[in-house]
Structure 1
């Protein structure tokens, strides 16, 4: 049961790709499935470049007044990394579409959460294409602000429901683990079940941490404020998200 739920509400492409790489793949091999598997393989490089992006943001903030030349280079690195990540994410909106299409959830609650979370993520990735094109000069640069707002709104909306889903599943996992422990079973099967529950819990906690961090970054675009828009807040949030992603994607 834990395994099936993990497929439904995982907020990263890793959870989805893990499902498609199981034996179920033989019955799920149409064009969209293959495209999603292909696109999901870029998660690793995305987390690496995201680390570059937010480390350079913190460097720029630290040396802006003391070493302007270094700060300029750091800013260029940050901008280049951000644009590169947008290019890497081309077509990623299909991931959310395929998640809802293939396995929306075993209960009404999870189906609703899956639809809301993935819909928000689809809006985020889809409008991110136009934000990228406006920033590199293909589209009118004046569109950038509007596209950024729509993209960030969809992202933040989706993350709220991804976080709720993961919290529900963490709670269910804790209850299941307690039942197994109370039953006083010492069998190998029981130990294996507890191990799987704990591994799943760690992965979901990493997902919650990443989504909360990305939610702060999204809020900085939606409703600019001194806290969310501060370079340190954005830098730390970006690194938390990136490194949580590293942990979840590391083989």
Structure 2
């Protein structure tokens, strides 16, 4: 069994449909809900700026750059104390092998350390810490996030493999039930739930890949063809949309 998942994202919501405004209220009451809306706003703005749709001399262009920068700082403030979530996830995790233990330490430990350092980055940008530490803190945060994504993506890939194996086994049971004339309603419902889990897991892997691309650019100080501003902004928006969708389902 894979390590205990953080309860907010990877499990699709099976509750009945709720009133939209009540659902929206519950979504916006969550830290991650507001954070992901800010993330969408930021990377949508980055796409506009990177695509050169607006002339550089246009006043709106300068306001968009200021908006994008302010949203980036605001998102860091929203992450205060978020590293505790990863500490608890690692503390409560159960493992079937040493490989999973190591991957979980990389995933939760890397992400948790990243969120912890991001608090210092926020204090730096807010003017409380000396600006001479800015680049060093950002580089440390980038490497911690990079390591965290490696562990997270590997764990999710292993989870996806398990889901596919269960799905294959369940298909065989359904085919056997069909051939013998027995009912398979229970198996069909289980297959539907597995399909939902598989979709969410695939989306999570795509999201990690998009975030990894941005982190890889940070680690390399924005060098290389993978650091194209429009490509990174598009990856950021894709990640934001996927995480918004998962948070919406889970709240």
- Find the partner of 1:114 among 104, 109, 112: 104
Measure how far apart 1:235 and its partner are: 0.7
Q: Is contact 1:216-1:237 (8 Å) kept?
A: yes
Instruction: Please state whether the residue corresponding to 2:40 is helix, strand or coil.
Output: helix
Q: Any conservation in 2 of the 1:152–1:221 contact (CA below 8 Å)?
A: yes
Q: Report how far residue 155 of structure 1 moved.
A: 0.6
1:14 corresponds to 2:3:
no
Aligned counterparts of 2:224 and 2:55: Cα–Cα separation in 1: 19
Quote the residue 2:180 is aligned against.
none
d(CA) in 1 for partners of 2:235 and 2:152?
17
Q: How does 1:1-251 map to 2 (within 5 A)?
A: 5=2, 8-9=4-5, 13-15=8-10, 41-61=30-50, 62-63=52-53, 65-183=55-173, 184=175, 185=177, 186-223=183-220, 224-251=222-249
212-221 or 60-69: which moved more?
60-69
Contact residue 153 and residue 208 of structure 2 kept, 8 A: yes
Post-superposition offset of 1:58: 1.5
Cα distance change, pair 140–104 in 1 and its aligned pair in 2 (3 A): farther
CA distance in 2, matches of 1:104, 1:146: 34
Render the CA deviation track for 1:212-239: whole Å, top value 9, x for unaligned: 1111111111112243332101110110
Offset, 1:63: 4.0
TM-score by length of 1: 0.82
> Given that residues 100 and 155 in structure 2 are in contact (C-alpha distance below 8 angstroms), is that contact kept between their aligned partners in structure 1?
yes
CA RMSD of aligned residues (A): 2.1
Q: Which has the larger radius of gyration?
A: 2
Number of residue pairs matched? 224
Give the secondary-structure state (helix, strand or coil) at the position aligned to 2:63: helix
Report how far residue 15 of structure 1 moved. 4.3
Name which structure has the greater RCO, CA cutoff 8 Å, separation 6+: 2
TM-score by length of 2: 0.82
Q: CA deviation at 1:110?
A: 2.3
Q: Which runs of 5+ in 2 are unaligned?
A: 14-28, 178-182
- Deviation sequence 1:158-186 (CA, Å, 0-9, x none): 11111111111111111111111112235
Give runs of ≥4 in structure 1 deviating > 4 Å.
none
Secondary structure of residue in 2 paired with 1:8: coil
